[in-house]
């Protein structure tokens, strides 16, 4: 038996048993980290046309991951589009679409190309690895699989995926208020517009502006102004309940809310809840010409996307309604198409 170092002492032990104790602890630490950050188990997609291979991998990861399975390349791609797994273990040699072709198609699809792929193959030559890496795979596992190696590599790439997702998410947040930033809003508006065009559904936008905010900053100071922005953002965010709705800081003291599959009446209801939420904050604003409390003005617009226009048309319509709300005395909602 090989000689191993363990806790500063030389111990003769079977290497599998020692390694097993190491990955059990590593697995526990990894899962604690993942669940704390994402509030869910990582999603693992197993793709193999041999049921026994899928069952073997399923047994390894069933406790710490949500497992999804596919036995053809077509099923794998469909599952990716529906569920967006965090990692794919993809067999190279399959009937129909083989693993290489599945990976090619995966990386060409903007919606799923960031899902990391680990190839599982019985051929571990340098040529195979080079081809796989050129196609976009992040790692290789050679059959027959070694449970310790498989676990270590899967945990490594799930951790990297989690960190990448976190960085991407942070890049789309406004650093002061914690809601989405302008960049995230612009990207989501484009996607939602295309979806509206495809599904023939209405979408709505609410533009929100804090009344007399420059006076607020001048009177209370910029630090208190930042606190005010965070409070208003929090109040607005509590009224946006559907997972596909989006509240963003548009710039300065302006916020914007994107409501897919929502007509004008529905958007006005959301705006009214937003206005009530801000009023409930009871934030003092002695520089306001409306009263002694902080208020907001809102412009609401809705339309169905069409091939002749761009989403900026909807933005301009909501901005026009916001301008009319401010011209009419502020602290009110104006709406129209």
- What's the pLDDT tens digit per position in 249-293? 999 999 999 999 999 999 999 999 999 999 999 999 999 999 999
- The mean pLDDT of 117-141, rounded to a whole number, is 89
- If asked whether residues 207 and 317 sit together in one domain, one would say yes
| Contact call for residues 261 and 209 (beta carbons, < 8 A) | no
Omega prior to 194 cis, within 30 of 0:
no
CA atoms within 13 A on the CB side of 280: 11
> Is the predicted pLDDT of residue 34 greater than 80, yes or no?
no
| Contact call for residues 15 and 87 (beta carbons, < 8 A) | no
187 is catalytic: no
Q: Which of 171, 190, 189 is nearest to 181 (CA)?
A: 171
- If asked whether residues 201 and 165 sit together in one domain, one would say no
Confidence band of 168 (pLDDT split at 50, 70, 90)? confident
Which strands form 43-47's sheet, in the order they lie side by side?
66-70, 43-47, 87-91, 117-121, 139-142
Lowest mean pLDDT segment, chosen from 23-27, 201-205, 318-322: 23-27
- The residue range of the domain holding 218 is 182-335
Domain boundary among 137, 171, 205: 171
Structure tokens at 240: 């946006």
| pLDDT on residue 22 | 43
Average pLDDT over the chain, rounded to whole?
Answer: 88
- The mean pLDDT of 230-250, rounded to a whole number, is 95
Confidence band of 313 (pLDDT split at 50, 70, 90)? very high
This prediction has a pTM of: 0.66
| Contact call for residues 220 and 328 (beta carbons, < 8 A) | no
- If asked whether residues 227 and 320 sit together in one domain, one would say yes
Question: In angstroms, rounded to a whole number, what is the distance separating the alpha carbons of residues 270 and 241?
Answer: 10
> Is the predicted pLDDT of residue 200 greater than 60, yes or no?
yes
- The mean pLDDT of 223-240, rounded to a whole number, is 96
Is 261 within a domain? yes
- If asked whether residues 160 and 293 sit together in one domain, one would say no
Is 141 within a domain? yes
Domain boundary among 171, 192, 212: 171
Is 84 within a domain? yes
**287, burial (CB in 10 Å: exposed 0-12, middle 13-18, buried 19+):** middle
pLDDT digits (tens, 9 = 90+) for 44-90: 999 999 999 999 999 999 998 999 999 999 999 999 999 999 999 99
Is 33 within a domain? yes
- If asked whether residues 137 and 218 sit together in one domain, one would say no
Is 177 within a domain? no
Question: In angstroms, rounded to a whole number, what is the distance separating the alpha carbons of residues 301 and 121?
Answer: 54
- If asked whether residues 160 and 216 sit together in one domain, one would say no
Domain boundary among 171, 197, 225: 171
CATH of the domain at 290: 3.30.70.270
Looking at the structure of the chain, the number of domains it has is 2
- If asked whether residues 159 and 262 sit together in one domain, one would say no
> Is the predicted pLDDT of residue 299 greater than 80, yes or no?
yes
Catalytic residue among 64, 188, 202, 253, which? 253
Is 8 within a domain? no
Alpha-carbon distances of 297 from 86, 232, 290, 327, 331, rounded to whole Å: 41, 12, 11, 10, 5
CATH of the domain at 58: 3.40.50.2300
What are residue 87's DSSP bridge partners? 44
- If asked whether residues 117 and 216 sit together in one domain, one would say no
Question: In angstroms, rounded to a whole number, what is the distance separating the alpha carbons of residues 248 and 218?
Answer: 24
- If asked whether residues 246 and 123 sit together in one domain, one would say no
Q: What is the dihedral of CA 124, 128, 129, 133, to 10 degrees?
A: -150
Confidence band of 32 (pLDDT split at 50, 70, 90)? low
Is 266 within a domain? yes
Question: In angstroms, rounded to a whole number, what is the distance separating the alpha carbons of residues 48 and 306?
Answer: 42
Omega prior to 64 cis, within 30 of 0:
no
| pLDDT on residue 23 | 42
What are residue 67's DSSP bridge partners? 44
Confidence band of 38 (pLDDT split at 50, 70, 90)? low
Q: Do the bridges between strand 254-260 and strand 246-251 make them parallel or antiparallel, or are there none, so unpaired?
A: antiparallel
Confidence band of 4 (pLDDT split at 50, 70, 90)? very low
- If asked whether residues 37 and 84 sit together in one domain, one would say yes
- If asked whether residues 146 and 237 sit together in one domain, one would say no
Is 10 within a domain? no
């Amino acid at each position: 038996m090989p000689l191993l170092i363990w806790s500063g002492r030389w111990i003769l032990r079977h290497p599998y048993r020692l390694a097993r104790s190491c990955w059990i602890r590593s697995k526990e630490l990894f899962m604690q980290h993942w669940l704390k950050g994402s509030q869910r188990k990582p999603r693992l997609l197993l793709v193999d046309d041999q049921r026994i291979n899928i069952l073997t991998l399923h047994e390894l990861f069933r406790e710490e991951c949500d497992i999804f399975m596919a036995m053809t390349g077509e099923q794998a791609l469909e599952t990716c589009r529906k569920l967006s797994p965090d990692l794919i273990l993809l067999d190279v040699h399959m009937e129909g679409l083989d693993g290489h072709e599945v990976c090619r198609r995966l990386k060409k699809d903007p919606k799923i190309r960031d899902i990391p792929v680990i190839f599982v193959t019985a051929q571990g030559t340098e040529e195979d690895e080079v081809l796989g890496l050129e196609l976009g795979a992040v790692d290789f596992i050679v059959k027959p699989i070694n449970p310790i190696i498989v676990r270590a590599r899967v945990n490594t790439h799930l951790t990297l995926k989690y960190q990448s997702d976190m960085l991407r998410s942070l890049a789309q947040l406004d650093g002061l208020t914690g809601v989405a930033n302008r960049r995230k809003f612009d990207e989501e508006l484009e996607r939602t517009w295309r979806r509206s065009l495809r599904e023939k559904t209405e979408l709505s936008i609410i533009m929100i502006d804090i009344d007399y905010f420059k006076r607020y900053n001048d009177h209370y100071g910029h630090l208190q102004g930042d606190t005010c922005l965070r409070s208003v953002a929090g109040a607005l965010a509590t009224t946006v309940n559907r997972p596909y709705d989006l509240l963003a800081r548009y710039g300065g003291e302006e916020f914007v809310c994107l409501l897919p599959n929502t007509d004008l009446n529905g958007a006005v209801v959301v705006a009214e809840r937003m206005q009530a939420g801000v009023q409930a904050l009871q934030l003092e604003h002695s520089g306001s010409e409306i009263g002694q409390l902080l208020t907001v003005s809102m412009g609401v617009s809705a339309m169905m996307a069409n091939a002749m226009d761009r989403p900026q048309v909807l933005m301009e319509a909501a901005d026009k309604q916001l301008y009319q709300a401010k011209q009419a005395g502020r602290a009110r909602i104006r709406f129209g198409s």
